[in-house]
């Protein structure tokens, strides 16, 4: 993880906003009516977003003692389902809801809170310090079982001069409903028509049966399974960069739409986001995967709060609104002091405005 993941946590992330803002501290003014006394909120879902919520919540509740927020890393599929069912007030998800889901659950909002990315990591003894080049077709070949060995001709072609071992590749995938699976399988689908026509994408997909393949739960499970299995490969959210580094895993350079092989960093993630900000619709449901542009890292996404527009009572609605407004404010939750720690980048100004409009509609 030399070059990016080992350094990113200590470097400031450039804001995509039109102008820099001054940090005013954690508490800040209340953004609306005072929340009802002793309101309890449940946030559950994305394990990629979970570390960020665990940075946000202690500071927010310290400044707003009448609000109690419980956080759970259960996977994006669970976050979406529990928000729809009214079990959770905030469902955290790396994936936006599909048109079909929206028709079945009218009144559910998909609200971007920040921008994230995903890495492809591997455990190849002797090569974990090398950033191997991989692309969508090769990864689709690995996860479909058509590419079985690390020294397969397709991998060697991308990595001339690298001595790749004749060892069986162990592909690791998520078994829980996962936004990470959603964005990884979108990269495979958008870059590889054969995968798109046979497997497709989603928070849960029918993974091809690959001899030796392993299932894991959550990003922590992906890191652990990869560390414990030499010659494995996995997809992991960048908020787990410290765990990836501690496990000693390698990180791939991924091929983007322009044919360049890139690592995620503030520049490449921001470049990809900038290509699609202007195309983001009012409901903010859009894929940022495989964006055009020479400098665009290919697996980035909006991190969503899935929220029912109509909450159970006015006190809960106020508490949800004010917390979410705090999270997307560049002086507070979207400030570098939080986002740098998980390698996210802040929302561009236009996306912040769209998110604020959605949040203010919660009642």
The string of DSSP letters for 100-128 reads HHHHHSTTEEEEEEEEEEEEEEEE-TTTT
Q: Please tell me the least confidently modeled range out of 33-37, 187-191, 219-223.
A: 33-37
Find the largest Cα–Cα distance for the chain: 65
> Which domain covers residue 170, as residue numbers?
118-272
Question: Residue 308's pLDDT band (boundaries 50, 70, 90)?
Answer: very high
- d(CA 355, CA 358) in angstroms, rounded, equals 5
Tell whether 296 is covered by a domain.
no
On whether the CB atoms of residues 252 and 132 are closer than 8 A, the answer is: yes
Tell whether 99 is covered by a domain.
yes
Token pair for 265: 């960093």
pLDDT at residue 18 tops 70: no
From 323, 280, 328, 327, select the one nearest 300 (Cα to Cα).
280
Could you tell me which residue, 136 or 35, shows the higher pLDDT?
Answer: 136
pLDDT of 38 reads 87
pLDDT of 5 reads 40
Residues 255 and 308 in one domain: no
Question: Residue 3's pLDDT band (boundaries 50, 70, 90)?
Answer: very low
Q: Which of 272, 290, 317 is the last residue of a domain?
A: 272
Residues 90 and 129 in one domain: no
pLDDT at residue 170 tops 90: yes
Tell whether 209 is covered by a domain.
yes
Tell whether 65 is covered by a domain.
yes
Residues 41 and 82 in one domain: yes
Q: Which of 272, 293, 327 is the last residue of a domain?
A: 272
Could you tell me which residue, 279 or 36, shows the higher pLDDT?
Answer: 279
**Per-residue pLDDT tens over the stretch 266-275:** 999 999 999 9
Residues 205 and 149 in one domain: yes
- d(CA 259, CA 320) in angstroms, rounded, equals 42
Question: Residue 297's pLDDT band (boundaries 50, 70, 90)?
Answer: very high
Residues 123 and 110 in one domain: no
**Per-residue pLDDT tens over the stretch 93-113:** 999 999 999 999 999 999 999
Residues 102 and 151 in one domain: no
On whether the CB atoms of residues 244 and 117 are closer than 8 A, the answer is: no
Total of domains in the chain: 2
Tell whether 281 is covered by a domain.
no
CB contact set of 106 (below 8 Å; sequence gap of 6+) = none
**Per-residue pLDDT tens over the stretch 251-265:** 999 999 999 999 999
Q: Name the DSSP class of 168.
A: B
Sheet holding 261-262, edge to edge: 133-134, 253-255, 261-262
Token pair for 346: 């802040």
Helix axes of 179-191 and 136-144: crossing angle, nearest 10 degrees:
110
On whether the CB atoms of residues 190 and 301 are closer than 8 A, the answer is: no
**Per-residue pLDDT tens over the stretch 27-72:** 443 444 443 478 999 999 999 999 999 999 999 999 999 999 999 9
Helix (H) or strand (E) run with residue 92 in it:
strand 90-93
Residues 265 and 152 in one domain: yes
Tell whether 287 is covered by a domain.
no
Q: Which residue has the tokens 């993880």?
A: 1
Tell whether 176 is covered by a domain.
yes
The mean pLDDT value of the chain amounts to 92
- CATH code of residue 232: 3.40.190.10
Residues 186 and 246 in one domain: yes
Residues 143 and 258 in one domain: yes
Residues 21 and 141 in one domain: no
β-strand pairing of 261-262 with 253-255:
antiparallel
Residues 207 and 334 in one domain: no
Tell whether 288 is covered by a domain.
no
Residues 127 and 93 in one domain: no
Q: Which of 272, 287, 316 is the last residue of a domain?
A: 272
């Amino acid at each position: 993880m030399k070059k990016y993941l080992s350094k990113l946590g200590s470097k400031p992330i450039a804001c995509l906003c039109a102008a820099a803002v001054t940090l005013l501290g954690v508490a800040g003014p209340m953004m609306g009516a005072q929340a009802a006394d002793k309101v309890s909120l449940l946030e559950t879902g994305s394990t990629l977003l979970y570390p960020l919520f665990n940075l946000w919540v202690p500071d927010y509740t310290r400044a707003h003692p009448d609000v109690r927020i419980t956080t759970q890393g259960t996977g994006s599929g669970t976050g979406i389902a529990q928000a729809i069912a009214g079990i959770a007030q905030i469902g955290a998800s790396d994936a936006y809801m599909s048109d079909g889901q929206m028709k079945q659950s009218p009144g559910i909002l998909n609200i971007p809170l920040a921008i994230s990315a995903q890495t492809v990591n591997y455990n190849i003894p002797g090569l974990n310090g090398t950033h191997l080049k991989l692309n969508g077709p090769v990864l689709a070949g690995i996860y479909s079982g058509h590419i079985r060995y690390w020294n397969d001709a397709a991998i060697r072609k991308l990595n001339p001069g690298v001595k790749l071992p004749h060892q069986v590749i162990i592909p690791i995938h998520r078994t829980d409903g996962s936004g990470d699976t959603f964005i990884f399988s979108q990269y495979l689908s958008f870059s590889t028509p054969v995968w798109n026509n046979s497997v497709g994408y989603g928070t849960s997909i029918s993974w091809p049966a690959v001899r030796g393949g392993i299932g894991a739960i959550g990003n922590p499970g992906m890191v652990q399974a990869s560390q414990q299995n030499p010659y494995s490969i996995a997809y992991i959210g960048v908020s787990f960069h410290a765990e990836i580094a501690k496990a000693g895993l390698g990180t791939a350079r991924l091929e983007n739409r322009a044919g360049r092989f890139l690592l995620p960093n503030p520049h490449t993630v921001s470049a990809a986001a900038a290509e699609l900000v202007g195309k983001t619709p009012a409901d903010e449901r859009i894929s940022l995967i495989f964006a055009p542009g020479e400098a665009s890292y290919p697996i980035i996404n909006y991190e969503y709060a899935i929220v029912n527009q109509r909450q159970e009572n006015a006190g809960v609605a106020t508490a949800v609104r004010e917390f979410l407004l705090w999270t997307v404010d560049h002086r507070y939750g979207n400030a570098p002091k939080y986002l740098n720690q998980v390698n996210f980048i802040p929302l561009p100004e236009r996306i912040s405005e769209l998110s604020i409009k959605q949040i203010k509609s919660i009642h």
